[in-house]
Amino acid sequence: MSDYAVEALNIVRTFSDGQVRALNDVTLHVPTGQVFGLLGPNGSGKTTMVRILSTILSPTGGNALVAGYDVVKQPNQVRKHIGLAGQNATVDESLTGFENLRMIGLLNHLNKAYVLARSRELLENFGLSDAANRVTKTYSGGMRRRLDLAAALVANPPILFLDEPTTGLDPQSRQELWAIIERLVEGGTTVLLTTQYLDEADRLARQLVVLDHGKIIAEGTSAELKAQMGATVLALTFTSTDAASRAAPLVKDLSHQPANLEGSVLEMTVDNGPAVTAEALRRIDAAGIELSGLALREPSLDDVFLSLTGHKVEEDESAQPALAGRRARRGANA
């Protein structure tokens, strides 16, 4: 077996008879024993990639090895080595937390005594012991995600796919889930994580791939990506759009990325926040242009996209009709 837990070579996946390309020639090498992040907005192909790697969907082109097994030719071997949790794979609402884990354990063909012990252990570890015998319909969003993750871990899989594990969670639940994921990786688990959040990728993933419209647009460590686009974002708000457009050329050279002017707000990614801010203020003041607000913030996924692609994240669900349809269906149900 190679050093990679997951190797995907030139994966292509089309929907609607080839009219929509959800994945276009995506190659991934996920090293064993760390978190690998797949970062991208809705419709970028992250979930399609996870579904292919977890044998739910077959690729239109290319091939993939998970734990050394081919996802198309040896799907059952792959399934024995993976756990899947996330937005599309859910727990059974009509069963209790314990019953959910027991069912997944039995369907993994583990022996009964082991399944019982393991289910109790996971419920305990994830702070769900008290809720173990309650139907999951009554669980909070955070509890559900923890149970979902526990279900993926019943069989102790060496490789874990987490598809947007914290989307829609409150900050505290996110922190709890992050801590759990970190503990898992310390224990030797390989995690392939998809996320829309840069801070999540930054916190958990050692290596990252950024997807946009089914294509890889950047890869590297989180530090490398940040270096590529500047460490902070300076946002200047002016009293009018006219003032903003007069100020823009004055501060242009302070960033190596093109500044983003939207209405009366000028945003630019900068390397040395405080120093650049001071310089920008001096120049704007000298030109007699009035500011109404100023902020320095961490770059968001939007900023990454802006600097990598030159366009903002589009809320373009139609790029992936199959998934958009599923979400709509589940949304209607919720």
Partner 1 sequence: MSALPTSLSTHSPLRWAVSDVMTIARRNLLALARTPVAIVFIVIQPIMFVVLFRYVFGGVINVPGHSYVNYLLPGILVQSTIFGSVGTAIGLSEDLQKGLIERFRALPMARLAVLAGRTVSDLFRNVLIIVIITGVGYLVGFRPTGSVVSYIQACLLMLLFAYCLSWGFAYVGLSAPNSEAAQAMTFPLIFPLVFASAIFVPVASMPSWLQPFAIHQPISQTATAVRGLMLGTPHGHSTWIALAWAVGAVLVLAPLAVNKYRKVA
The least distance separating partner 1 from the CB of residue 69, rounded to whole angstroms, comes to 11
Q: What are the tokens at 256? A: 């190596």
Closer CB to partner 1, 160 or 280, in the complex: 160
The least distance separating partner 1 from the CB of residue 308, rounded to whole angstroms, comes to 30
Closer CB to partner 1, 171 or 187, in the complex: 187
The least distance separating partner 1 from the CB of residue 262, rounded to whole angstroms, comes to 37
The least distance separating partner 1 from the CB of residue 135, rounded to whole angstroms, comes to 7
Closer CB to partner 1, 163 or 303, in the complex: 163
The least distance separating partner 1 from the CB of residue 323, rounded to whole angstroms, comes to 10
Interface residues with partner 1 (CB under 8 A) are 51, 54-57, 76, 79-80, 82, 84, 88-90, 92-95, 99, 103-104, 106-111, 114, 117-118, 121, 125, 135, 151, 153, 155-156, 183-184, 187, 322, 325-326, 329-330, 332-333
Closer CB to partner 1, 132 or 313, in the complex: 132
| Closest listed residue to residue 85, CA positions, set 194, 212, 185 | 194
The least distance separating partner 1 from the CB of residue 282, rounded to whole angstroms, comes to 55
Q: What are the tokens at 233? A: 């974002």
CA distance 221 to 37: 9
| Closest listed residue to residue 90, CA positions, set 35, 137, 133 | 137
> Cβ(72)–Cβ(63) under 8 Å?
yes
**H-helix or E-strand spanning residue 296:** strand 291-297
**H-helix or E-strand spanning residue 299:** none
Q: What are the tokens at 96? A: 């209790």
Question: Each residue of 253-289: b (16+ CB within 10 Å) or e?
Answer: ebbebebbbeebbbbbbbeebeebbeebeeebeeeeb
Closer CB to partner 1, 15 or 238, in the complex: 15
CA distance 9 to 11: 6
Closer CB to partner 1, 46 or 118, in the complex: 118
> Cβ(8)–Cβ(45) under 8 Å?
no
Place of tokens 């190659």: 27
Place of tokens 């990679």: 4
> Cβ(168)–Cβ(141) under 8 Å?
yes
Name the DSSP class of 253: G
Closer CB to partner 1, 106 or 296, in the complex: 106
The least distance separating partner 1 from the CB of residue 217, rounded to whole angstroms, comes to 26
Residues in contact with 16: Cβ distance below 8 Å, sequence separation at least 6, in sequence order? 321
Angle between helices 222-229 and 301-309 (to 10 degrees): 60
Closer CB to partner 1, 135 or 217, in the complex: 135
Angle between helices 141-153 and 112-125 (to 10 degrees): 140
Q: What are the tokens at 166? A: 């914290």
The least distance separating partner 1 from the CB of residue 109, rounded to whole angstroms, comes to 6
Closer CB to partner 1, 138 or 241, in the complex: 138
CA distance 44 to 315: 10
The least distance separating partner 1 from the CB of residue 1, rounded to whole angstroms, comes to 18
